Amino acid sequence: MGNQPKKQNADMDTELFEVMASSPIGAQCVVHNYEILTCGPHSHCYSYHTHKNKSKFVCSLPFNVRNDEFSILKRVNKSDPNDITLLYLGKPENEAKYLLQMPYKSVWDSDSDSDNETGLLNYNKWKPVMKEEKQTLETISDDESFIGVRSLIGGSDNHLLFITYCPNNISVLDLNALQYVYQGTLPIDTKIASHCFVLKNWDESSVEKRTTEMLLFCQDSGLAIEYDEISKIPKYRRLRVCPEVRSLIHYAYLCVKDYILFFGGYDGNMHTRKIYRYSIKEDTWIKFDCSMPFPCTSCVALLDSDGTYLYLLGGSTESRHVKTEVKKWLKDQLNENEKQWVVKEKEIRSIEETRMELQKMKQKFDIRNLKAKLLLLFCVQ
């Protein structure tokens, strides 16, 4: 009888996730309509069709890549959502860091089966991003590490590439002008790698103000970042990370509506199955009672084109590929275990905030003490 609750939880975990066709280990992925485009080991790129549960070969990168030193992104033409360009940002083995691009046409379209067909010759092939001087656009100094690099595309015209990389760097590349418009450091001490870096959901006010809002989490550091296209200067606001997530690295993450979901990760001792949710609007955390049906480390989380399903792919040790309904992780109603966790988390937060206030008071007191001592010393002299 004592094992019954654990068995019920295990059964519930399995019911929440549906196992799909396997995917490459350590792959980087993006979603386009009903396709998940993956680039991973051995430099091969594939398209997985979410309805057919099958994969097709797309092409290969022109060099070998390390799984943890590159990022794949999708740039969408704002006037035509079906017109996309894939970007490769990373460091090939024994070469400088640079940027590749690939205009993409679906390999599942009946008229895309042959490379010789008119109009398809310039698609589905990786080419270096070239400046007007016909020079390859190199990215970031070779002195900087790209291990665990995270990047995203934003801007009022989907034209800004934001790159965050070790130890605590941020760079902004204008993809239209092919020029870096900002390079600086994040106001944190944590060395970032394989961190959470997401674009906050856009609204019309963001476009009008020409600002891009992002969030970054890595161990005990959290930041809300707002980049202004006019001033070309980012603004930062610190965010609190709940204690259980501070110890985790290499988790999968995904921003859905006003939430960020965190799946699995590695805590320094073991690979975990835990799932957390951060509310952007409320600045609060929840740990779900249900967990992954298997330990999940170095996976990628993706949202399908209509926002119905969430896919988790990849893994550091073996290939995993599951899907789950998004609505199950956006619920407002919590069970008793989740409610108790939230109460405990609020208590911990209150204690931490009290300690911080006391520390600030102590610092102010120390400064006043120092001023008094200096004044006394001045008077004596």
pLDDT tens, residue order, the chain (381 aa): 445 555 555 555 668 999 887 766 556 899 999 999 988 767 889 999 988 988 899 999 887 776 677 889 999 998 898 899 999 988 766 566 678 999 999 999 864 455 445 556 789 999 988 765 545 555 555 556 788 899 999 999 999 999 999 999 999 999 999 899 999 999 999 999 999 999 998 765 666 778 999 999 999 999 999 999 999 999 999 999 999 999 999 999 999 999 999 999 999 899 999 999 999 999 999 999 999 988 888 889 999 989 999 999 877 766 778 999 999 999 999 999 999 999 999 999 999 988 888 877 766 666 566 555 555 555 655
Cα-Cα end-to-end distance for the chain: 81
pTM of the predicted model as reported, rounded to 2 decimal places:
0.87
* Residues paired with residue 264 on neighbouring β-strands, in sequence order: none
CATH (domain of 359): 2.120.10.80
Specify the pLDDT at position 79: 86
Specify the pLDDT at position 115: 46
* Residues paired with residue 88 on neighbouring β-strands, in sequence order: 72, 100
Residue 344, SS3 per DSSP: helix
The domain tally of the chain equals 1
In what order do the strands lie in the sheet containing 284-287? Answer: 252-256, 259-263, 275-279, 284-287
At which residue do the structure tokens 């390999």 appear? 107
Specify the pLDDT at position 25: 58
Specify the pLDDT at position 164: 96
* Residues paired with residue 183 on neighbouring β-strands, in sequence order: 171
Convert 43-101 into a string of H (helix), E (strand) and C (coil). HEEEEEECCCCEEEEEEECCCCEEEEEEEEEEEEECCEEEEEEEEEEEEECCCCCEEEE
DSSP summary character for residue 41: G
**Boundaries of domain holding 155:** 4-380
127-139 exposure pattern, b = at least 16 Cβ within 10 A, e = fewer: eebeeeeeeebeb
Instruction: List the one residue out of 294, 307, 224 whose CA is nearest residue 263.
Output: 294
DSSP summary character for residue 231: T
Rounded CA gap, 9 and 288, in Å? 11
